Amino acid sequence: MFLGKDMMGNPVITVSDGRSIGKVNDIYLTTNLQSVVGIYLGSKGGLFSSRSSFLVKSEDIVTLGEDAVLVKHDEVIQEEKDIPDLEETWLRRDELQGRTVDSPGGTKIGKVDDVIIDKEGKVLGFSLSQVYVSGPIADNHSVAIHTVQDVGHEDGVMTIDLEQAEQQELSVA
């Protein structure tokens, strides 16, 4: 397992011919925050042309790694505008950072620092910054995905089951 930020700046390499086709600028998650659905390569454009943002969908990714991302071939790069309902179904990792985490009773737990993922792109949980509670959550600086009750799209606050979160063994500390 590793943090999403561990992938930032890593090369995106094709397995078909070993060429580097870009660098990871961010990752896209499903809106329910269960898995990685793509990687963001950045945007291009200039003064006289519109900016285009580029990505690779997860089905074209062979391996997500801490040192590189391997993709099938160089034709997997797509423009954001060509993905239907992207804004409603995908969430960039940078939009998640800083999201407040609390309990159903309103106890402030901390803020999302990053996403914890495995090599298959499954979200395991979230690392926390500014932890406001003591105990296992403060020791681990993380909460497991199965403790999340509300991801916080409407109010910007992620709600977790505090009791479950205190019993987890996920740790990034």
Domains of the chain: 2-92 (2.30.30.240), 97-166 (2.30.30.240)
Low-confidence ranges of the chain (pLDDT < 70): 45-51, 171-173
Residue 95: helix, strand or coil by DSSP?
Answer: helix
Q: What is the reported pLDDT for 48? A: 60
Q: What is the token pair recorded at 31?
A: 């809106």
Q: What is the reported pLDDT for 116? A: 95
Q: What is the reported pLDDT for 47? A: 56
| pTM (2 d.p.) | 0.89
Q: What is the reported pLDDT for 49? A: 56
Cα-based distances in Å from 114 to 3, 6, 129, 132, 162: 6, 10, 9, 17, 19
Write the CB contacts of 159 (distance below 8 Å, at least 6 apart in sequence): 101, 102, 103, 104, 148, 149, 150, 152
Q: How far is CA 49 from the centre of its chain?
A: 29
Q: What is the reported pLDDT for 110? A: 97
